[in-house]
Amino acid sequence: MTIRDGALVDLLIDFSGRTVLVLGDLMLDQWVYGQVDRVSAEAPIPVLRIAPERQRWTLGGACNVAENVAALGARAMLIGVVGTDAAAAQMLALTKPFAADLIAAPGRWTTVKTRYIAHGQQLLRADQESTEPLDAVAAAGVLDAYRRRLPAADIVILSDYAKGVLCDAVLAEAIAAARAAGIPVVVDPKRVDFAAYRGVTVLKPNRLEVRRATGIDCVDDETAEAAGRLVLEAVEAQAVLLTRGEQGLSVIPAGGAALHLPTRARRVFDVSGAGDTTIAAFAVTLAGGAGLADAARLANTAAGLVVGKPGTASVSRDELAQALHDDDLLATDRKIASLAPALARIGAWRAQGLKIGFTNGCFDLIHPGHVALLSRARALCDRLVVGLNTDASIQRLKGPERPISGEGARATVMASISYVDLVVPFAEDTPMRLIEAIRPDVLIKGADYTVDQVVGADLVQSYGGRVALVPLEAGQSTTGTIARIRAAEGRG
C-alpha cells in the first residue's frame, strides 16, 4: 500500500494501533557532569569534580529504538539481555513503559556507556560491556520470549550493536520465525558479512557499514545505489535503506528505482542515536500501511529532528507532525513548475511505476466544484498533474475582464490542494502541448464534456491511455459566482 506524500501527517494517527517488537543489544547511557579546576599532580590529566545532582541515565541501543517507537505513539515490545549487576536494576526501571523481557545472564555485564562531561564537552567515555555471543541458556531465554511476543507484533526490528545478543543462533531463528509468521523484519546491522541477515525485509546499514561490506564508498547517489544493489544480492531483502549522514539517505528496492533523499537536519547538535530514530520511524510507518518511499521520507524527517537534540534522544509524534506540516507549506511552491522540470519529476514518478493523471482548466476563483473534480481525478491515478491557463490565455478565451484572480495566486491555491501533485502553467489556448509532452496515463475532464470534445483524447487513447469524464457538482461555477457578486454590488 502506498500512501500519498501529502497524507504523511494523517498517517501519524494510525501509529497508536501498531505494535513493534524490538530485539537486540540493550544499553544504558550514563551522563556524569562536573567541573575541571585543576590538573592532577599524579599525571598530566584534568581532575573532574563531580556534581552529585548532575548525573542522569538514558536508554541506548535497542532500548533507544523502543523509546523512539513509543514516542511516535506505537506500542513497543522489547527483548534483550542484562547482567546481574546494579545497572540491570536501572535498566529495569527505565524500560517499565515498554512490554520488556530483560533476560538475566550471569557472568555478563549490562552494557553501560559512561560519559564524563565538563564545560559542555566530553572528557572521557568509559564502556562496561560484554561482547561474546550468548551462551545456550541465555539464547534459549531470548528466543522463548521472542516467540511468545511475536504473534502480537506488526513488525520486528533487530537492533544489532555487536554486543552478542544477535548471535548466529538467535539471529537465524528470529528471522525465520518472523518470515514464517508473515511479519516484516527490519535490521540495523553491525556485522561485516551482511549474508548473516539473509531473508530480512529491509536492511538499514549506514555508509561506513556498506563500505566495509562491499568495498564501495557511497560518495554520491550513483555509488550509493551500486552498493545497495550488491547488498540486496547478498541479503535477498526487499529493500536496502542506506543512511548516508550529511548526504541524507537512499532507499534501494529490489524491484524498482532507487529514491535518494537529502538530509533534513536544520542544525546538528549530536548525531548519537540518529540511526535508532531512523529505523524506529521507518518501521512504525511501514507498520502503519505506508510504502517504502513514504516510510523513508518520514524517517528522514525524524532523523533531521533528532540530531538537533543533545545525546541519545527521541522524536515525538507531535514534533514529527509539526515538521511534516511545515514541509507541506514549503512544498506548495515546489509543486509549481514549468514544463521542463515538470517532465523530470514526472519521469521519476514513472520510474517508480506510478500512474500519471492530467487535467486542466482556468480555475479562476476556485470553488467546491473544482475541489470535488480534483478529488475524483486524484482517485483515478497515483500522481495528478494540473495544466493551468495563464492570464493571457484566459483573456483570449474569456475576455479582458478575466481572470478575476491572477495566475500566481491561482497556481498557489491550486498547489495547496492535497489532491494536486504538480501544477504546470501554459500560455496556449489549449493544453495540447502539455499532453503531448507528458503523455498521461489518464486524461480527466468534467462530465460536461464528451470524449470527442476533450483536447488530446485521440492522442491519449492511441497509446493505450484512458480518458475519464468525472461528475461535476451542480450549481458550482466561476461565472455564476461572478454574476452573484455583481448583482450584490448592484443592489448595494
Q: For 227-282, how does the pLDDT look when each residue is reduced to its tens digit (9 = 90+)?
A: 999 999 999 999 999 998 888 889 999 988 898 888 765 544 444 558 888 999 89
Give the separation between CA 155 and CA 73, rounded to whole angstroms. 15
Out of 273, 304, 331, pick the residue that ends a domain. Answer: 331
Residues 162 and 56 in one domain: yes
Strand partners, 78: 22, 100
Residues 249 and 397 in one domain: no
> Which range of residues forms the domain containing residue 213?
5-33+46-331
Percent of the chain having pLDDT more than 70?
Answer: 86
CATH number of the CATH domain containing 154: 3.40.1190.20
Q: Is the pLDDT of residue 448 over 80?
A: yes
Residues in contact with 377: Cβ distance below 8 Å, sequence separation at least 6, in sequence order: 357, 359, 384, 419, 444, 468, 470
pLDDT at position 371: 87
Higher pLDDT, 182 or 322: 182
Total domain count, the chain: 2
pLDDT at position 352: 76
Query: Which of these is catalytic: 29, 154, 160, 276?
Result: 276
pLDDT at position 485: 56
First vs last Cα of the chain: how many Å apart?
Answer: 54
SS3 417: coil
Asked if residue 38 belongs to a domain, the reply is no
What's the sign of the alpha-carbon dihedral 414, 415, 419, 423?
A: positive
Mean pLDDT across 140-149: 97
Note if the bond before 403 is cis, omega within 30 degrees. yes
In which band, very low, low, confident or very high, does the pLDDT at 1 lie, cut at 50, 70 and 90?
A: very low
Residues 415 and 465 in one domain: yes
Question: What letters, b where the CB count within 10 A reaches 16 and e where it falls short, cover 114-124?
Answer: bbbbbeeeeee
Number of CB atoms found within 10 A of residue 86's CB:
10
Out of 292, 314, 331, pick the residue that ends a domain. Answer: 331
Task: Give 169: exposed, middle or buried? Use CB within 10 Å, 0-12, 13-18, 19+.
Answer: middle
pLDDT at position 416: 85
Q: For 134-264, where are the alpha helices, taking DSSP H only?
A: 136-149, 168-180, 207-214, 221-235
The DSSP bridge pattern shows strands 185-188 and 155-159 to be parallel
Task: Give 87: exposed, middle or buried? Use CB within 10 Å, 0-12, 13-18, 19+.
Answer: buried
Crossing angle for the helix pair 62-71 and 274-287, to the nearest 10 degrees: 50
Out of 289, 310, 331, pick the residue that ends a domain. Answer: 331
pLDDT at position 328: 53
C-alpha cell at 465: 491511455
Mean pLDDT across 375-395: 92
Residues 270 and 240 in one domain: yes
| 272: phi then psi, degrees, rounded to nearest 5 | -60, 130
Residues 394 and 263 in one domain: no
Q: For 271-329, how does the pLDDT look when each residue is reduced to its tens digit (9 = 90+)?
A: 455 888 899 989 998 998 888 888 888 888 887 786 656 556 677 667 776 666 555 54
Q: What's the mean per-residue pLDDT of the chain?
A: 86
pLDDT at position 112: 96
Residues 273 and 369 in one domain: no
Number of CB atoms found within 10 A of residue 474's CB:
7
Crossing angle for the helix pair 168-180 and 136-149, to the nearest 10 degrees: 20
Q: For 54-83, how does the pLDDT look when each residue is reduced to its tens digit (9 = 90+)?
A: 788 999 999 999 999 998 889 999 999 999
Question: Are residues 357 and 380 in contact, defined by beta-carbon separation less than 8 angstroms?
Answer: yes
Question: Looking at 79-88, 236-245, 339-348, which range is the least confident one?
Answer: 339-348
DSSP 220: S
CATH number of the CATH domain containing 352: 3.40.50.620
Pick from 132, 136, 165: nearest CA to 61: 165
C-alpha cell at 140: 534459549
Number of CB atoms found within 10 A of residue 349's CB:
18
The H or E element that residue 481 is part of is: helix 478-491
Percent of the chain having pLDDT more than 90?
Answer: 58
Residues 371 and 288 in one domain: no
Q: Is the pLDDT of residue 126 over 80?
A: yes
Measured CA to CA in angstroms, residue 154 lies from 140, 285, 344, 359 at distances of 23, 11, 36, 39
Give the separation between CA 27 and CA 80, rounded to whole angstroms. 9
What's the sign of the alpha-carbon dihedral 299, 305, 308, 310?
A: negative
Q: Is the pLDDT of residue 473 over 80?
A: no
160 is catalytic: no
Range of 242-256, 322-336, 350-364, 457-471 with top mean pLDDT: 457-471
Q: What is the dihedral of CA 20, 105, 273, 298, to 10 degrees?
A: -10
Measured CA to CA in angstroms, residue 480 lies from 231, 360, 365, 451, 488 at distances of 61, 20, 11, 25, 12
Asked if residue 40 belongs to a domain, the reply is no
pLDDT at position 475: 53
